[in-house]
Amino acid sequence: MILTNLILLAGALGSGSGANDSKPKVEWTAPESYFGGGAFVVHVVLSTGTDSASVPAWAMEASAFTLNGKPLGGKRGEGSIELLPNTRFSIDLDLAPVLAKAEGFDGKDFKLGYAKEFLGGEEKGVRVMQAAEKGLDFMKMPVEELSNYHVIMSTNQGDMEIECWPDVA
């Protein structure tokens, strides 16, 4: 009797076979700044509510991202992944190696998007920055030049940019 009830309950919840056109909820974050030569790790979370959702396999790859509206990478994975109801799937991807080779990346600020043709969503602006030359002595630098440098402090809550005002300090 209990087994029969469980099977009927599962059937009532829609766990039977069949195509599911439901899309997951997506949340993604990317650093606001990209430092040439460093890591650029994006974090993606796909989640479902009471319904399952089908996600294309390429949504788990760097090629799911766009750089100024154009795909960031080559061949996309085939197939799909079925996320069961009440699932939370997260992935971290370092896009730096792909960015370095991307067509259209010219070392300037850019807009980054994620799986726009599948999930829609917004693009996020990313500033491109370069680290100061190794061994640069700020104490010997003319005061006028100091304002050309900013300090980026990376924390687990995001980056903080510190602007130097040598004429005030």
Same domain, yes or no: 161 and 89? no
Same domain, yes or no: 122 and 169? no
**DSSP string covering the chain:** -HHHHHHHHHHHTT-SSS------EEEEE--SEEETTS--EEEEEEE-SSS-EEEEGGGGSGGGEEETTEESSSPPPPSEEEEPTT-EEEEEEE-HHHHHH-TT--SS-EEEEESHHHH----EEEEEE-PPPTT--GGGS-HHHHTT-EEEEEETTEEEEEE--TTT-
Tell me the backbone φ, ψ of residue 70, rounded to 5 degrees: -110, 145
Tokens of 136: 């640069």
Give me the mean pLDDT over the 75-79 stretch.
79
Same domain, yes or no: 116 and 62? yes
Same domain, yes or no: 115 and 169? no
Q: Does any domain span residue 90? A: yes
Tokens of 67: 């750089």
**pLDDT band at residue 4 using 50, 70 and 90 as cut-offs:** very low
Name the residue range of residue 69's domain.
19-131
* pLDDT greater than 50 at residue 150: yes
Same domain, yes or no: 64 and 139? no
Q: Which of 103, 105, 124 is nearest to 29 (CA)?
A: 124
Same domain, yes or no: 142 and 108? no
Higher pLDDT pick, 168 / 49: 49
CATH of the domain at 102: 2.60.40
Cα separation of 53 and 19, whole Å? 9
Same domain, yes or no: 90 and 157? no
Same domain, yes or no: 89 and 127? yes
Higher pLDDT pick, 77 / 35: 35
Same domain, yes or no: 43 and 124? yes
Contact by Cβ (8 Å): 169, 139: no
Q: Does any domain span residue 13? A: no
Task: Encode pLDDT of 8-33 as tens digits.
Answer: 333 334 444 444 568 899 999 999 88
**Number of structural domains, the chain?**
2
Q: Is the pTM of this model over 0.75?
A: no
